[in-house]
């Protein structure tokens, strides 16, 4: 990664920005030169207004499609035939700000909003009219200049409190009570406008009805009839307008989406010069460019300026951004690691190790082909319906890969919802016996831990050596020696894997390595206890995996449905069998995810990882629906 400074003539700025945007190679930075700050190009505000207007129109059309059952990502799907060439900015702005289609979309939407608001008022008027059906007087009667009329819908308890307080206060209040829906009562009170209800009476009042609301003219019967007629007219008009919107969506959605994309690109180009520096006749751009793209980047600048430019390397202490370049199907793992902390550009990226180890740890802890298959089907559906840029979608894509691992280890372990089926699927294959191989499993998981912790320490050595922290770097190597030699010594002493002489010599060397670690680095000395506890922490893989297998076997033994007890017992056992296996699957999946992530982020990353890097984000146009002329 190289930090470059580009100096070009002011007259070439537009072409330079365009070519830089198309090249997508430079992550821009503020220049450290003591020059005047540049500013956004003229017309930025107009482009922004146009983009807002087009985005709003697209939202209206998208909502219209959703109302007609066309939900989800299909709305945004782009066919190659839909791609269009870019439009000159003047025509683009004219179409966005003055175009007939967009004006029509907004006018229809405004009318639909008016109808919606009017519909609420009509429904409210009709509801009030139905309450007042037993009153034969027009609502205008309640609009007296001398008498205040108020109406409420009260429950039994509220009505009792109202009557009690009214009698206590002995105010000059007339009231009439009529039955309402759901056992409530309609209470209409009247008192002189010169009076005021006491606080105690006012507190008993609830669900007040606005007798001055719109459309409350004439008798209750007339209001209800008028509301019904208008609501029917509104429904017909809404249906017609929604049909027009859907037609506009089918005809113009793709075009408007292309217009939006072009405006977004134009806005990015218009705003970017605010990060430049300038003189009277030139401007300066600085930023980071990947080493592999330096030549092509320079070629794009040369083409934009007819060779009148200057590019030079910038030497400063700024940490380069981190460039991530994994295959698309593995990029969700980048998302998860970045969610924890973006790797620094001057340290080894641990994501590759994380990808493989997390999948293995998860598979071993779930270790059931049936659970793995169900989770794979579920997360495939989740990935399909969620936002590709969101956390849930990326987590689902990771879960897909790890579910395949769970299926693999389930087959190896001969576990299918706790049943052993390999003898039917793979003749002669019995699978790995978890219950009969606990010691082997413990050994394997501890070896996993030793290998991953040692890899972490090796990464720590390389990172610190590159940063010039020599003593700390070599303390990582002595820590590796202490772990490996200590493991051999313990294996020889307690498990008889080697003879006594090997145990004695490796034990002495392990102690020496620990002492040397403490001498080389106080920081690493504080981590000495973790050299023992962290590898042992990987035995949790065995614990959760074995627990999942045992629970599944117990469920099968106790609740496998059969017809010997009759149909009713068969149904009950089936429900319990499915429910318990579902709970066991959820528990296994949850622990597999949490513990798999923990073993990597705590036991592994802690040996070398600093993080807090800055992700490489080049100034690059994003085209999906359009192509440059």
343-390 pLDDT tens trace: 999 899 999 999 999 999 999 999 899 999 999 999 999 988 888 878
| CA distance linking residue 262 with residue 207, whole number of Å | 52
- Rounded to the nearest integer, the mean pLDDT of the chain is 88
What is the structure's pLDDT at 172? 79
CB 66 within 8 A of CB 111: no
What is the structure's pLDDT at 221? 94
Tens-place pLDDT, residues 598-612:
999 999 998 999 988
CB proximity list for 467: less than 8 A, separation 6 or greater: 346
Q: How far is CA 512 from CA 330, 474, 475, in A?
A: 42, 14, 12
Looking at residues 431-444, what average pLDDT do you find? 81
Tens-place pLDDT, residues 194-226:
888 888 888 888 889 999 999 998 999 999 999
What is the structure's pLDDT at 78? 46
CB 360 within 8 A of CB 401: no
Token representation of residue 283:
């401007």
Q: Where in the chain is the domain with CATH 3.30.70.240?
A: 2-38+276-313
Token representation of residue 478:
């002595």
What is the structure's pLDDT at 459? 94
What is the structure's pLDDT at 428? 66
Which CATH architecture group holds 125-224?
A: 2-Layer Sandwich (3.30)
With bands split at pLDDT 50, 70 and 90, how would you rate the model's confidence at 294? Answer: very high
What is the structure's pLDDT at 307? 92
What is the structure's pLDDT at 79? 46
Looking at residues 157-174, what average pLDDT do you find? 85
What is the structure's pLDDT at 183? 86
Q: How many CA atoms lie within 13 A of 145 on its CB side?
A: 0
What is the structure's pLDDT at 81? 41
With bands split at pLDDT 50, 70 and 90, how would you rate the model's confidence at 119? Answer: very high
Lowest mean pLDDT among 19-23, 411-415, 460-464, 468-472: 411-415
Tens-place pLDDT, residues 523-572:
777 777 787 888 888 988 888 888 988 999 999 888 888 888 789 888 99
Looking at residues 143-154, what average pLDDT do you find? 91
- Residue 185: helix, strand or coil by DSSP? strand
CB 520 within 8 A of CB 472: yes
What is the structure's pLDDT at 487? 86
Q: How many CA atoms lie within 13 A of 473 on its CB side?
A: 11
Q: Among 3.40.250.10, 3.40.50.150, 3.30.70.240, 2.102.10.10, name the CATH number for the domain at 2-38+276-313.
A: 3.30.70.240
Tens-place pLDDT, residues 65-105:
777 665 443 444 444 445 566 678 888 888 888 888 999 99
Cα of 501 vs its chain's centroid, Å = 57
């Amino acid at each position: 990664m190289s930090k470059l400074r580009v100096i070009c003539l002011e007259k070439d700025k537009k072409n330079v920005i365009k070519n830089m945007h198309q090249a997508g190679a430079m992550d821009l930075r503020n220049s450290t030169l003591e020059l005047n700050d540049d500013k956004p190009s003229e017309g930025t505000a107009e482009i922004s207004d146009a983009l807002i207007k087009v985005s709003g129109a697209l939202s209206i059309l998208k909502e219209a499609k959703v109302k007609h059952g066309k939900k989800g990502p299909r709305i945004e799907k782009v066919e190659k035939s839909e791609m269009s060439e870019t439009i000159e900015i003047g025509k683009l702005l004219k179409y966005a700000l003055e175009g007939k289609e967009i004006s029509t979309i907004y006018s229809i939407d405004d009318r639909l909003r008016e109808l919606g608001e009017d519909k609420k008022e009509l429904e409210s008027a009709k509801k009030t009219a139905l309450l007042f059906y037993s009153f034969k007087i027009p609502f205008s009667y309640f609009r007296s200049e001398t008498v205040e009329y108020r109406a409420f819908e009260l429950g039994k308890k509220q009505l009792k409190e109202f009557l009690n307080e009214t009698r206590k206060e002995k105010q000059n209040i007339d009231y009439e009570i009529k039955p309402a829906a759901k056992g409530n009562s309609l209470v209409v009170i009247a008192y002189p406008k010169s009076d005021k209800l006491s606080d105690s009476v006012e507190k008993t009042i609830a669900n007040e009805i606005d007798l001055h609301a719109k459309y409350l003219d004439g008798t209750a019967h007339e209001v209800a009839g008028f509301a019904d007629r208008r609501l029917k007219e509104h429904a017909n008009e809404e249906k017609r307008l929604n049909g027009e919107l859907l037609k506009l969506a089918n005809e113009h959605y793709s075009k408007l989406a292309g217009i939006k994309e072009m405006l977004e690109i134009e806005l990015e180009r218009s705003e970017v010069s605010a990060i430049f520096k300038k003189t009277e006749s030139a401007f300066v751009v600085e930023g980071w460019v990947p080493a592999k793209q330096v030549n092509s980047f320079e070629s794009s600048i040369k083409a934009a300026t007819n060779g009148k430019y200057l590019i030079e390397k910038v030497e400063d202490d700024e940490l380069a951004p981190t460039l991530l370049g994994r295959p698309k199907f593995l990029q969700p793992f980048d998302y998860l690691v970045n969610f924890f902390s973006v790797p620094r550009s001057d340290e080894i990226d641990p994501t590759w190790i994380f990808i493989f180890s997390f999948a293995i740890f998860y598979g071993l802890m779930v270790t059931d082909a049936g659970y793995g298959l169900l989770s794979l089907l579920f997360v495939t559906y989740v990935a399909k319906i969620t936002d590709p840029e969101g956390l849930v979608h990326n987590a689902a894509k990771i879960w897909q890969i790890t579910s395949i691992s769970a299926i693999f280890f389930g087959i190896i372990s001969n576990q299918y919802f706790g049943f052993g089926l390999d003898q039917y699927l793979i003749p002669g294959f019995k699978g790995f016996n978890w219950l009969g191989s606990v010691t082997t499993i413990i050994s394997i998981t501890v070896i996993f831990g030793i290998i991953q912790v040692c890899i972490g320490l090796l990464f720590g050595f390389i990172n610190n050596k590159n940063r010039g922290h020599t003593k700390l770097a070599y303390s990582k190597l002595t820590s590796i020696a202490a772990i490996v030699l200590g493991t051999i010594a313990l294996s020889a002493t307690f498990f008889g894997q080697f003879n006594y002489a090997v145990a004695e010599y490796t034990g002495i060397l392990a102690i020496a390595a620990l002492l040397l670690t403490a001498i080389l680095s106080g920081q690493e000395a504080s981590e000495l206890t973790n050299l023992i506890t962290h590898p042992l922490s990987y035995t949790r893989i065995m614990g959760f995996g074995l627990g999942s297998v045992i629970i599944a076997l117990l469920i099968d033994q106790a609740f496998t449905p059969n017809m010997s007890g009759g149909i009713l017992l068969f149904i009950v056992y089936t429900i319990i069998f499915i429910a318990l296996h579902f709970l066991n699957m959820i528990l296994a999946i949850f622990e597999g995810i949490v513990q798999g992530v923990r073993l990597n982020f705590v036991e592994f990353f802690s040996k070398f990882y600093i993080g807090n890097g800055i992700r490489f984000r080049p100034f690059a146009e994003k085209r999906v629906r359009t192509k440059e002329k």
